[in-house]
Structure 1
Amino acid sequence: MVGLPAKRLQQPPSDITSRRLGDAAEAFIYALQLSGASRLTIKSYRAALQSFLSYVGADRAASNVKAEDYIAWLTAMRSRGPMGPRGGRWSSTVHYYSVFVRRFLSWLGVSGLPSEPSRRGEFSGALSWRDVEVMMSKARDLYDLLIVSLMAESGLRAREVVGLTWGDIDLARGEARVRGKYGKERTVVLGQVARAVLSALPPGQPNERVVKLSYQAIYDRVKSMARRAGIDVSRVRPHVLRHTFATEALRRGMSLPVLQRLLGHSDIRITQVYLHLLDEDVRREYERAFMQPQQPYYPPYPPQAYPPYVQPWYMGAPGPRG
């Protein structure tokens, strides 16, 4: 996910509202660049702003833009349907575009904007650990296996996998140094599969990439493994493996602060989004304990000890143990 840059954005120029909206958008992009935003972040913001400008008009005076324009554009975006480019969910694109445009308009000084939307209910979910194991069993080569293990066992983003060099790997300690968003570095622990694969691969020079593939190639490999594993391909993409690591770590008892550090989140509230994915676990455990017939129910007291309106509930059940 792309978001705000690491440094605070500069205030807009004093004459920003007297400019064309298209020029104001370029000034915002320039401010993003000065703040240290990554190339991917810039590209994403630019795409969102171009969508907004094509709807409201780039030649319009920036001073004339209102919150109503944002709402009208967002409504039009949502009406385009559930599917977007490459079969991805259009709702996900709309969500991020809406966040980016809203931040631009806030920077511009537009008042009355609705609250920033939440994607909590649209979270893409995670796979079961069994799904991960089946995908690994369908690996065609060591790189397939390494890609899945780095994301599912250590929580790396696909682009972090792409940027990993042999100089970042410390097999003796079972660790890797990862450069995340905005150039922030963190140390992750390598899982058992990743350690085994890295030990089997011929080591390269310190500045040589470990996985010499593009992001798109990794994306395609993950999809292919899911297809061979018989998993619904629409559920699987590289970032879902990172989600899977996070939810599996919580299921196994890892604390939220430790998970935050391993994922490289600057704010623990971002890490907390994974907690709601465990709601289904809670429901499943409850239903297993209370909603499914297992052993006959044994009341702790004989039937006559209960009021008459309770007794029919367990009529016919054996008496208490003992």
Structure 2
Amino acid sequence: MTKFDLPPPPPNARDMRIGEAIEAFLAALAAAGASAKTVRAYRAALRDFLEFVGNRAVREIGASDVAGWVYDRLSKGLRRPRGDSGRARRMTMHYYTLFLRSFFQWLGVDVKVPVVRKPRRARIEALSPEEVERLISASRDVLDLLIVALLFETGLRAREAVGIRVKDVDMSRREIRVRDTKYGEERIVLYGPLTEQALSLWLTLKPRRPSDPLLGISYSGLYKRLKSLARRAGIDPERVRPHVLRHTFATEALRRGIPLPMLQRLLGHRDIKVTQVYLHVLNDDIRAAYQRAFGYTIPQAAWPPPPPPQYPQPYIPPQAYMQPAPGLPGNAAAWSLRAPGRMGERGREEAGEQA
């Protein structure tokens, strides 16, 4: 999580009502350079806590209040849930508890905030190249085509895409300057021939000023268009979301040989560990290829091989060792019927005398 160099809290922070202290903290965040989106995220977490504990004095808040809030939200759900699953609750409360801990640290108040463990990352969902082609074929107008091409060839987040302005696009270099990013840091993304053709058609049909939004739709408008495209393409709408197309771009980029550090820059990840999650998808590809090559079964008749034939030694009763062999003198009976190599010292001496 990003650390900000915050200005100090007011001298009377412990005597302030918690609602007032929250507003002072949010103002400090904004003054330290936090983006509007970051401030909104902190505001949502801290106001959720305020709703639970009430607008009491900061000095009255203790660890039991924090523990009760965490338990209530994990067991009963959030006031404004982003999802109904237990995983979504834990993910939200992971960040909420981190934000609350930062708030108390800034105030200098010794209140223990147990950070909810972040749930394991869900499996990365990506579309196949054939499914992307079906979405393109199902486009009902140039804007549909541009949305699919842009998200698939750039890996932009949905909010980044709807925030692009015409002046941000350099058609001579086939690149886009992304300004409204997740972490507030501008970056350059590249686009391919499909986006180039769609852009040319779009700007010809819909001439725009340099300062105008390129797509001219909201996040919800983009989301609804993708769902409609999925239904026309015969793909489960639950599998077609803006971020799934971002995953698809990242997966295809690695498959086509783009190095991981370069992909990190294109996606706008601060930590390369976030980009490395897409390697798991490639591991699945490796496993599938290995299974195709070596996943055959050995025919039943070929394994296990039949046992080698056994040749048991003939049984010779002990008394046979003492019977004279035909045509030999009696003193040769001690060695004449013995197995080869088992002749005793005395037998060899007697054999020498007979020779």
> 2:51 is matched with which residue: 32, 54, 57?
54
Q: Secondary structure at the match of 2:215?
A: coil
Aligned to 1:104: 100
Aligned to 2:32: 35
Structure 1 unaligned spans of 5+: 298-310, 317-322
For residues 85 and 223 of structure 1, the distance between their equivalents in structure 2, rounded to whole angstroms, comes to 22
Q: 2:210 matched to 1:214?
A: no
* Offset from partner CA, 1:255-309 (integer Å, 9 cap, x none): 111001111223323322333344433433343333344xx68xxxxxxxxxxxx
Higher alpha-carbon Rg: 2
TM-score w.r.t. length of structure 1: 0.78
Q: 2:206 matched to 1:224?
A: no
Structure 1 counterpart of 2:242, one-letter code: P
CA shift in 2, pair 1:36/1:124, >3 Å: farther
Which of the pair has the greater relative contact order for Cα pairs under 8 Å at 6+ separation? 1
TM-score w.r.t. length of structure 2: 0.72
For residues 56 and 132 of structure 1, the distance between their equivalents in structure 2, rounded to whole angstroms, comes to 48
For residues 151 and 143 of structure 1, the distance between their equivalents in structure 2, rounded to whole angstroms, comes to 12
Aligned to 1:152: 152
CA shift in 2, pair 1:116/1:106, >3 Å: farther
Aligned to 2:271: 267
Structure 2 counterpart of 1:200, one-letter code: L
* CA contact 1:45–1:97 (8 Å) conserved in 2: no
Structure 2 counterpart of 1:92, one-letter code: A
Aligned to 1:199: 200
Q: Secondary structure at the match of 1:181?
A: coil
Aligned to 1:306: none
For residues 144 and 204 of structure 1, the distance between their equivalents in structure 2, rounded to whole angstroms, comes to 18
Structure 2 unaligned spans of 5+: 307-355
Aligned to 1:307: none
For residues 222 and 165 of structure 1, the distance between their equivalents in structure 2, rounded to whole angstroms, comes to 21
Q: CA deviation at 1:27?
A: 2.1
> 1:73 is matched with which residue: 57, 69, 76?
69
CA shift in 2, pair 1:115/1:182, >3 Å: closer
* Offset from partner CA, 1:187-232 (integer Å, 9 cap, x none): 1111221111012221532222210111111111112212222322
For residues 183 and 250 of structure 2, the distance between their equivalents in structure 1, rounded to whole angstroms, comes to 21
CA shift in 2, pair 1:85/1:97, >3 Å: closer
For residues 67 and 280 of structure 2, the distance between their equivalents in structure 1, rounded to whole angstroms, comes to 29
> 1:18 is matched with which residue: 15, 19, 31?
15
Q: Secondary structure at the match of 2:303?
A: helix
* CA contact 1:12–1:107 (8 Å) conserved in 2: no
Q: CA RMSD in A?
A: 3.1
Indicate the larger mover: 103-112 or 50-59: 103-112
Structure 1 counterpart of 2:94, one-letter code: S
For residues 76 and 227 of structure 2, the distance between their equivalents in structure 1, rounded to whole angstroms, comes to 26
* CA contact 2:104–2:111 (8 Å) conserved in 1: no
Aligned to 1:251: 255
For residues 171 and 185 of structure 1, the distance between their equivalents in structure 2, rounded to whole angstroms, comes to 18
Q: 2:81 matched to 1:91?
A: no
For residues 134 and 148 of structure 2, the distance between their equivalents in structure 1, rounded to whole angstroms, comes to 11
**What is the number of equivalent residue pairs in this alignment?**
296
Q: CA deviation at 1:45?
A: 2.4
Q: CA deviation at 1:47?
A: 2.0
CA shift in 2, pair 1:46/1:106, >3 Å: closer
* CA contact 2:14–2:57 (8 Å) conserved in 1: no
Q: Secondary structure at the match of 1:122?
A: coil
* Offset from partner CA, 1:61-91 (integer Å, 9 cap, x none): 356332x544443332232469x86867563
Q: CA deviation at 1:143?
A: 0.8
Aligned to 1:313: 303
CA shift in 2, pair 1:41/1:72, >3 Å: same
Q: Secondary structure at the match of 1:313?
A: coil
* Offset from partner CA, 1:162-186 (integer Å, 9 cap, x none): 1212222222222122112354221
